[in-house]
């Protein structure tokens, strides 16, 4: 396949509404791989194959590719056996109302090999293609990572600061939604957040940026006492105050 995209690496900022927002990033990889090979590469190097979870993401991807030619790149959409179309990134819902299938697509490989993977051409249209085809691809790195290790709050803080950036801070609904999606795949009922209570000053503070206005406390939580820190419920996404010596998964920023 002749490729015409000229960029080796494309970095695109995600939606951010505050200076503390950790954006997500897209990386365009100029290496020809099968869908499975591309998925492995993205998971080893970044987060996963590109997940297009809203039309703003779609527009950024189209703009980044330059448009106007017939080349294509893998995105993280696949159909496996009896399972319908789903995104490679765990916990990400496939929204049928936000798709960009080309006319008569997906056609399932009528008269051709089974087509269970998706590439996107630079006009933004999606095509179902055999997963064994080799093409360039787009990786996704959301800068918020779930760590499936069980640690106390202090241990989680040290881990994030040593290996990544910090325990995650949540200052607006966009970051709340992103962290909530990651928490759904945790191995523990709660995940630690980067917020702690100080009994000396009698308030909650984010370790990376002090106090914040946005809150999502579960009923009966958020009052605080000595030795408590904030965690997010795995299922509901609300915040709870828990003893900081409990051991849970946690979420770092990268």
Residue whose structure tokens are 């709660």: 190
Strands (E) across 90-182 are located at 117-121, 126-129, 135-141, 144-151, 166-167
Of 141, 162, 179, which residue is a domain's last? Answer: 141
User: How many domains would you assign to the chain?
Assistant: 2
Domain end call among 114, 141, 168: 141
Residue 57, SS3? helix
Per-residue pLDDT tens over the stretch 100-141: 899 888 887 665 668 999 999 878 889 999 999 999 999 988
User: In whole angstroms, what is the distance from residue 153 CA to residue 206 CA?
Assistant: 13
Quick: pLDDT tens for 195-246.
Answer: 999 988 888 999 987 556 789 999 999 887 899 999 999 989 999 999 999 9
- 218 shares its domain with 240: yes
CATH number of the structural domain spanning residue 218: 3.10.100.10
Spatial CA neighbour of 212 closest among 175, 166, 170, 168: 170
pLDDT at 30 over 90: no
Could you list the residue range(s) of the whole structural domain that residue 39 is in? 25-141
Q: How far apart are CA 181 and CA 228, in angstroms?
A: 24
Q: How many CB atoms lie within 10 A of CB 72?
A: 24
């Amino acid at each position: 396949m002749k490729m015409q995209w000229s960029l080796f690496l494309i970095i695109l900022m995600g939606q951010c509404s505050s200076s503390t927002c950790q954006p997500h990033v897209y990386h365009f990889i100029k290496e020809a791989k099968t869908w499975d090979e591309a998925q492995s590469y993205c998971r080893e190097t970044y987060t996963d194959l590109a997940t297009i979870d809203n039309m703003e993401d779609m527009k950024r991807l189209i703009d980044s590719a330059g448009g106007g030619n017939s080349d294509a790149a893998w995105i993280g959409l696949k159909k496996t056996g009896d399972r319908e179309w789903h995104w490679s990134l765990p916990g990400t819902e496939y929204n049928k109302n936000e798709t960009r299938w080309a006319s008569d697509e997906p056609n399932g490989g009528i008269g051709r090999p089974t087509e269970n993977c998706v590439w996107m051409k630079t006009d933004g249209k999606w095509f179902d293609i055999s997963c064994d085809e080799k093409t360039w691809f787009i990786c996704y790195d959301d800068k918020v990572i779930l760590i499936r290790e069980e640690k106390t709050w202090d241990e989680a803080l040290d881990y994030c600061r040593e290996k990544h950036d910090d325990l995650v801070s949540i200052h607006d609904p966009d970051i709340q939604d992103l962290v909530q999606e990651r928490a759904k795949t945790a191995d523990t009922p709660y995940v630690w957040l980067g917020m702690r209570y100080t009994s000396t000053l009698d308030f909650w503070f984010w370790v990376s940026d002090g106090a914040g206005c946005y809150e999502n406390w579960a009923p009966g939580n958020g009052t605080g006492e000595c030795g408590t820190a904030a965690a997010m419920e795995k299922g509901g996404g609300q915040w709870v105050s828990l003893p900081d010596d409990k051991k849970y998964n946690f979420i770092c920023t990268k």
